[in-house]
Structure 1
Amino acid sequence: MRRQTQTSGVNPAGSGRILRLDPLSLPVSFNAHDSRADGNVRQIELHRERIVLRRAVRGMQMAVNVRVSDFKGIALRGVEDAQMLVLVHRDPSLTIPLCVSADETEIATAWQTWSDIFALPQIRDSGTREPAPRRRRRNAIRARRPKFLTRRRAGDANKETAVHHGEREIIARD
């Protein structure tokens, strides 16, 4: 019997055009395309509670451990002649392909099964990205005013001040 490891001649799951991972046989490990990694390949380990992404960037090995609850959901995306199921994260570089197929019934059952296994919602995704909303700074005025002045309200230059004419002032002089 031959060992089926990365060094043997057997292709790991996800190496070809058709990707079919079985959600009922977790944990599973496979290689996926990563344009930023050395060799354009990253290794992914799927477990029920967590996902481990291993890749090398410019010779530096890294492993990213992400909880399944940190993902947004299971998305269905259309590719050229097939459909793809992906595990969607806020960071697009952490999005993970789960299944690629041209059979719509197979995709629908896999979509429901992955959603049930990971307890994540099903998302219909076109693959286009919209920019994230701009984050507010903690204290935008702090860089412009000294700290003790942030407690005071700034004056209004357009507001008219009250001027009293024809009155006598009382000034205390010692």
Structure 2
Amino acid sequence: PVSFAASDSRADGGIRQIELHRERVTLHRAVRGMKMTINVRVSEFIGVTVRDTADGRALVLLHRDPSLAIPLLVTEDAGECAVAGQTWSEILALPQLADGTRDPAPRRRRSNTISGRRSTFLMRRRSGDLLNPAAVYRGEREIIARD
């Protein structure tokens, strides 16, 4: 496990403590006096990427929620950043992403099996022949009893 402090604009004092394990990441921070601990599984992170910052190049563990992204290394040397990115990617079993983006989702097929079905609105309604089923008897004699 690795433990270090990182900057956090929302936290009190602008700092949060990060504990990094192979299976999980634990974030400790205080927001407006309320202390909180956030546990996130490593598998929920998208991958490892490089971002340009004011201090130089930062190696970041990227999450779908930008407030959960974790800076792993800040350096000016691009070679050092590439080597560290490869190492962190192997240790955490996450992919390396180019330019902080992930691959686009594959396009959906236009001819899917659901397209021929009734819409959900119509599925809630009964079809017309079931609303008032009239009893029809054919080929029988009708008996009417009168008072």
Q: TM-score, normalised by structure 2?
A: 0.67
The whole-number CA distance in structure 2 between the counterparts of 1:100 and 1:41 is 16
Aligned residue number for residue 82 of structure 1: 56
The whole-number CA distance in structure 2 between the counterparts of 1:39 and 1:118 is 29
Matching of residue 53 in structure 1 with residue 22 in structure 2? no
Which of 107, 114, 118 does residue 88 from structure 2 map onto? 114
The whole-number CA distance in structure 2 between the counterparts of 1:103 and 1:67 is 30
Instruction: Write out the 4+ residue segments of structure 1 that deviate beyond 3 Å after TM superposition.
Output: none
Identity %: 61
Please report how far the alpha carbon of residue 152 of structure 1 lies from its aligned counterpart in structure 2 after TM superposition. Answer: 2.3
Any unmatched runs of 5+ in structure 1? 1-26, 128-140, 155-173
Count how many residue pairs are aligned between Structure 1 and Structure 2.
112
Q: Give the superposed CA RMSD.
A: 2.5
Q: TM-score, normalised by structure 1?
A: 0.57
Q: CA 1:119/1:64 → structure 2, altered by over 3 Å: closer, same or farther?
A: same
Q: Is the 8 A contact 2:55 2:74 kept in 1?
A: no
Please report how far the alpha carbon of residue 153 of structure 1 lies from its aligned counterpart in structure 2 after TM superposition. Answer: 7.7
Any unmatched runs of 5+ in structure 2? 102-118, 128-143
Q: Secondary structure at the match of 1:29?
A: strand
Matching of residue 68 in structure 1 with residue 42 in structure 2? yes
- Identify the structure with the greater helix proportion: 2
Letter paired with 1:61: K
